[in-house]
Amino acid sequence: MLTDLVTPTPPNDVWPALPQGAWSDTCATLQLWMQIVGKVRLALTPPINHCWNVTLYPTIRGVSTSPMPYGSRMLQIDFDFLKHRLLVETSEGESRTISLEPMTVAAFYQQVMSALESLGAPVRIWHLPNEVAAPIPFEQDTVHRAYDPEFAQRFWRVLLQTTRVFNVFRARFTGKVSPIHLFWGALDLACTRFSGRTAPQHPSMPRLPDRVTRDAYSHEVCSCGFWPGASGVEAMFYSYAYPEPPGYRDYSIAPATASFDTNFGEFVLPYEAMRQSADPDSALLEFLQSTYEAAADCAHWDRAALEVRTGPGQS
């Protein structure tokens, strides 16, 4: 394995506790709020392979769309989890602010659409959520309304710290690799490496159009990420290969708290186990590196051509 200089971090200060039982309702509501904002980005940006044009990005205050074109103007929407507000801004200096507080998805949707219209940038989005069971149209959803500011902020802090460690891992690869970005469908922060070879057509997936999955998995990948979990399922880091090569799930990985989950069809490292380890950063890097090696070795990737090699006189 490659080794990197990573400063050890206190297990409880940098990586906050994120038990699903304490914020499950907020997590579900936040996922739907982020889908509304993400669908605005989807509507305004030109398609990029693997749907990379639709993702959101962690920032030092929250999560952002990054700049989006509206004609010759630029528009940006930011979740600010320090002051708990949503900022809708234009490149001309105009802005609208929406307080992040307990409110229905229907109310949030209406406020976002009204803010865009008042800025002279009305946007129409598909009104059904993606990747959720029994989706309710945004404008009709009065079921999801929870917002716990403490746990919303903890979630963002985990995204930010995960991005920091993922960037160390990402820098080890010279082949095609994705940005580190948040997919708002399932609310997971992901980074994907590519072998350079095409992949067989991906089978259909529940609650996702075939065109999306087949574009996402058009080429052979090893993908890792962080998922905050859902009701009854705790937060985890994950890693999977597509297509899954022979011997992959039996490959020896690290740390000892990680394993292959046959229900998810991927390697998982429970977030809490990583958080409570003596050196969380190193534990996460071990997981990312060893599961990548499982994919690359079992599928016979050209690792010498795809990986950064360090030696005397190199950094």
Determine the 3-state secondary structure of 298 from DSSP.
helix
Q: What is the pLDDT of residues 58-75, one digit of tens each?
A: 999 999 999 999 999 999
What does R_g of the chain's alpha carbons equal in angstroms?
20
This prediction's pTM:
0.93
Cis preceding linkage at 255, omega within 30:
yes
* CA pair distance 6, 233, nearest whole angstrom: 30
Per-residue pLDDT, 126: 96
> What's the pLDDT score for residue 309?
84
* Residue 91 CA: distances (Å) to CA of 67, 76, 95, 120, 206: 9, 8, 9, 12, 38
Q: What is the pLDDT of residues 155-214, one digit of tens each?
A: 999 999 999 999 999 999 999 999 999 999 999 999 999 999 999 888 888 777 888 888
Residue 135: what pLDDT? 96
pLDDT in tens, the chain (315 residues): 444 444 444 445 899 999 999 999 999 999 999 999 999 999 999 999 999 999 999 999 999 999 999 999 999 999 999 999 999 999 999 999 999 999 999 999 999 999 999 999 999 999 999 999 999 999 999 999 999 999 999 999 999 999 999 999 999 999 999 999 999 999 999 999 999 999 988 888 877 788 888 888 889 999 999 999 999 999 999 999 999 999 999 999 999 999 999 999 999 999 999 999 999 999 999 999 999 999 999 999 999 999 998 754 443
pLDDT at 239: 98
Q: Are 132 and 31 in contact (CB under 8 A)?
A: yes
Report the 10 Å Cβ neighbour count for 65: 22
Query: CA 155, CA 20: separation in Å to the nearest integer?
Result: 11
Res 215: pLDDT: 84
Backbone angles phi, psi at 36, to 5 degrees: -60, -50
Are 11 and 18 contacting, i.e. CB atoms less than 8 angstroms apart? no
Q: Any idea which residue has 């003596």 for tokens?
A: 278
Q: Convert the pLDDT of each residue in 279-292 to its tens digit.
A: 999 999 999 999 99
> What are the domain boundaries of the chain?
24-140, 149-306
Nearest of 179, 233, 152, 166 to residue 50 by alpha carbon: 179
Q: Could you tell me if 224 and 178 are in contact, meaning their C-beta atoms sit under 8 angstroms apart?
A: no
Here the tokens at position 90 are: 């234009």
| Amino acid letter, 67 | P
What are the structure tokens assigned to 46, written together? 């030109």
CA–CA dist 1, 96 (Å, integer): 48
Q: Exposed e or buried b for every residue in 12-32, given b needs 16+ CB within 10 A?
A: eebbbebebeebbbbbbbbbb
Percentage helix, strand, coil, to 5, in the chain?
Answer: 35, 25, 45
